[in-house]
Structure 1
């Protein structure tokens, strides 16, 4: 089967139109229109643009991809209590080398409330929050996903950061992806598999100005323009969510 046969046809223009009311995205004040690919919506916000496809990949492909990303010899990822699992990096994961990163603040070291992995070209390390990640080499599943983004992003990314949210307890606080190595106005493509989670945006200069986008199983969200300089984003806690979610953010690292 050709890769692009796995792209979802569920998000046709009829269903996408339900997300636009009077030319605005959902209940927001931001203009939106259906992209000419018929899969996603373009949302225009001040100082940036977003492309949002709620079901870019079909359910079968998304299920198989989540299983591949979390596959670990001898462990059923869907029933295992990963929050109680120690020494994550020593487990026999089949495809992704997951690790537990930590940060130091006020003289104390804290584990980040999620697991992560960094893959890409071998000369493209990435530093954020005082953590420097050395890339592991691309594998088949990551290359397949990267290729699937070419029609909409018009480029082949050289790096990808994976975050594994083991449940709704895992989260990421307000931040921007504006590190110098990402370039002046980075284009970042976020691919999501597993539990649906809330994705929040807020203006850096006016925190009351917000936008919420639900990221579903098989969805794609692309952030473009000067967005990273003027908007922060987060994935808040959702304690009722018990299932895994894997987020992959494809990026171009400039060194």
Structure 2
């Protein structure tokens, strides 16, 4: 495991190869087949557009989270998923109670600039982002100094930990990459306030 040296202001750390390839493959297959993925639709300037990725929200029972124009409620964790949750909790020394999963089916699927700063999210806790599958660029842009940008290629099994304060100082995105033909699943573990 190596920590990426470019973690500006120590706002994040990258643990490359945190999951070994065979474990990453196991979890990607499980997630693809065991979860009920959906493609939310958002309304922009009066027109409805499908979100360019598939999503699932997993969380402790009763946790509420608003994203993509809808409120999602946790129904508890599938038993088969709990070992991965436990492993991420131990690595980050916290107790995550929710996880937003995004399935980027190919290079056209993407995520625009945003910060995970919704009021439901506990900003005193880290946010852990686990990548499975194809390598995709994870871009960061400083909120106050827009020309300060970084791009981290997140590979299969990489764990990016965004430390408290990161969301208030940085925005991030996963841009379109048309040459990428294989899939990537990203799990973003968060702690929600009750």
Question: For this structure pair, what is the TM-score category when the shorter chain's length is used for normalisation?
Answer: over 0.9
**Corresponding residue of 1:221:** 160
Deviation at 1:106, TM superposition (A): 0.9
Q: Deviations over 1:209-231 (max 9, x none)?
A: 01111111111000012110110
Unmatched 5+ stretches in structure 1: 1-10, 20-24, 31-42, 72-94
Q: What TM-score, normalized by structure 2, do the two folds share?
A: 0.94
Do the aligned residues in 2 keep the contact of 1:190 with 1:221 (CA within 8 Å)? Answer: yes
Alignment of 1:200 with 2:139, yes or no, is yes
**Structure 2 counterpart SS, 1:179:** coil
Deviation at 1:129, TM superposition (A): 4.1
- The structure 2 residue matched to 1:139, chosen from 78, 85, 94, is 78
Of structures 1 and 2, the larger Rg is shown by: 1
User: C-alpha root-mean-square deviation of aligned residues, in Å?
Assistant: 1.6
Q: Distance in 2 between matches of 1:172 and 1:162?
A: 12
**Structure 2 counterpart SS, 1:147:** helix
Q: What TM-score, normalized by structure 1, do the two folds share?
A: 0.72
Q: Deviations over 1:102-157 (max 9, x none)?
A: 11111111110000000111110101242211223311342121111133211221
Alignment of 1:124 with 2:63, yes or no, is yes
Aligned length: 194
Do the aligned residues in 1 keep the contact of 2:106 with 2:184 (CA within 8 Å)? Answer: yes
**Structure 1 counterpart SS, 2:76:** coil
**Corresponding residue of 1:167:** 106
When residues 103 and 186 of structure 1 are mapped into structure 2, their CA distance, relative to the original with a 3 A threshold, is farther
**Corresponding residue of 1:112:** 51
**Corresponding residue of 2:148:** 209
Do the aligned residues in 2 keep the contact of 1:119 with 1:160 (CA within 8 Å)? Answer: yes
Do the aligned residues in 2 keep the contact of 1:185 with 1:227 (CA within 8 Å)? Answer: no
Unmatched 5+ stretches in structure 2: none
